[in-house]
Amino acid sequence: MINRLTSRVARVAAMGLVVAGVAACSTFDNILEVQNPEELNEEILDGNSALLDVLVNSVTGEFEDALDDPFIWRGSMFTDETLTGINWEQTARLNQRIVEFDEGDADLMFYQISRARQIADSVGGRMREAGLTSDARYAKTLAYAGYSYILLADAMCQATVNVGSDIYEPLELYQFAVDRFTAALAVAGTGDLATMARVGLSRAQLNLGNYAAAITAAQAVPDDFRWYALYTDANPDVYNVLESRVTGNNHSLGVSPQFLAGGPERFGQQNLTEFLTDPRVQHLPDWRLGHNQLTPLYTPSASLMMSNYNGETRASGGTPADIERDSDIAFASGLEARHNMFEAMMAQGGNDAAVLAFVNERRAVGNQDPVTLSGNALKMELRDQRGRDLYLAGHRLGDLRRWLRQGDDMFPSGVHPVDQWSYGNATCFPLPREEYEGNPNINLPG
């Protein structure tokens, strides 16, 4: 089951209208309260299917813009997924887990995700005021709003919503996501859209520690389900940004030692072909220097959650697919739902046998031998398989922060792979200076 229906190109023409004409309140209960009603009154939406399609396309397009960059690209550098070769000091610091509230990375992360969230809430509010709450497109805006709240919760230390005075913690943002997914399901009923919402619901409930609810949502998702963020090579505005980071003389993204073929101890070695046995995390066998002429970069191939993944390995003489401008990214999948379910089962306790069977199933996909594990060792192996299955698909930062809340600090630390650098201790992106200066309802810290 694959969603490939969303037109990202069509939403470009709508952006000026949406940004100027709609804004929603911070809570779902108040989503009907919108500003500037004269810019786009509800009567225009009523019966105007073409305009409604453009508005909904703006919702999906803004989310897709935020997903590849900044959320995946910058988020992957902040975790143990990738190393940066960018020759910019603040990006180098980001890869060292040093991020300042008055620098661009924090602002880009907050602004881009908040833009996606605000537009989804706003368009949903307009549709609700127009009495279109039984329309499947209304459910779609709610579901995408839910995912935008997840990205905010995964990335940000704290967040404001719509220039409000409340500063929300991640768990509060996950609850906002639950509210929107639940509302989306009430409208969507059955079908792929409802399934996509259930994947998001399982993810949000897992982060909230509501394990039974996470399991219930995940169990309703077919194993082969995927819902993609869509990218195209036909328009520079909608390229998959990751492609430009792994190609050309100024390429700037490489696989971190945690996911390197042969293990972290192989980092810095050339000709790793014989170790490239796991099709989920393939990369060039030799490192090369990129934009900063400093960082050894093992260029990653298309990962399992990308649309052009082909399952081939270099160790067997295959040619794994490259990350392309039109490589779509599955941000909701049946595989993720299964991981959510088994992680919740592991947290509940008493389910080691079922979790072990799943772990060995995933190890087989990676051409890894089966293991016999239990307890903490099994939990850590489940996490490793999750990292491989969902590599470069926008999960790792939220995963590491969830596990940190549970008492396990798995962020990279100690000696950085680049000798001249050292790791800091940041685990999230701070609310940026631009929000403090532009939001009259909050004050600069300290």
Residue tagged 């988020």 (tokens): 75
pLDDT tens by residue, 352-370: 999 999 999 999 999 999 9
pLDDT at 48: 73
pLDDT at 189: 87
pLDDT tens by residue, 219-261: 999 999 999 999 999 999 899 999 999 999 889 999 999 999 9
The pTM of this model reads: 0.92
Local structure of residue 169 (DSSP, 8 states) = -
Angle at 428 between CA 423 and CA 432, to 5 degrees: 110
Q: Are 34 and 122 in contact (CB under 8 A)?
A: yes
Pairing between strand 253-255 and 82-84? antiparallel
Q: Domains in the chain, please, with CATH?
A: 12-189+425-438 (1.25.40.890)
Q: Are 399 and 382 in contact (CB under 8 A)?
A: no
DSSP element (H, E) containing 332: strand 329-333
Low-confidence stretches of the chain (pLDDT beneath 70): 1-47, 446
Taking every pair of Cα atoms in the chain, the longest distance, rounded to a whole number of angstroms, is: 65
